[in-house]
């Protein structure tokens, strides 16, 4: 029973990490035209947060899978969420802004490619 509960926590954690970009989703098609102008510094911040979230996920997934009980799993999940929030704050982004940039990139192939290039630059720095 505890193993099934722990597996459920792992699934929720992984889903939470993967869903972060979709939190408070606003469809890019519904965004006013003025909001479609995302500055290069915002794109670079987005890329840094994206790479940070990848690293956080890589760090916390194994720990979460190895959690001995649901309480430990919840603690690990809270630590990861705190680090993600810290990465957003450090880059001056909110979850909403991050999600909006993600949505805009999904709708705009040119912007998406710029972001991918920035993400690759950030990965190369690591």
- Residue of 109, 84, 93 whose CA lies nearest to 18: 84
What is the structure's pLDDT at 34? 39
Kindly report the backbone phi and psi dihedral angles of residue 23, in degrees, each rounded to the nearest multiple of 5, phi listed first. Answer: -60, 140
Boundaries of every domain in the chain? 2-24+34-125
Average pLDDT (104-125) is 95
pLDDT of residue 126: 74
**Structure confidence at residue 19 as a pLDDT band (50, 70, 90):** low
Tokens encoding 95: 């979850």
pLDDT tens for residues 51-92? 999 999 999 999 999 999 999 999 999 999 999 999 999 999
């Amino acid at each position: 029973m505890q193993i099934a509960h722990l597996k459920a926590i792992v699934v929720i954690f992984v889903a939470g990490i993967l869903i972060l970009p979709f939190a408070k989703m606003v469809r890019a098609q519904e965004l006013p035209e003025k909001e479609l102008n995302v500055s290069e510094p915002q794109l670079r911040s987005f890329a840094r947060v994206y790479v940070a979230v990848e690293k956080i996920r890589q760090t916390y997934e194994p720990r979460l899978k190895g959690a001995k009980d649901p309480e430990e799993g919840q603690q690990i999940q809270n630590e990861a969420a705190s680090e993600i929030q810290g990465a957003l704050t450090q880059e001056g982004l909110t979850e909403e802004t991050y999600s909006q940039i993600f949505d805009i990139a999904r709708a705009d192939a040119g912007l998406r490619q710029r972001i991918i290039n920035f993400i690759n630059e950030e990965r190369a720095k690591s």
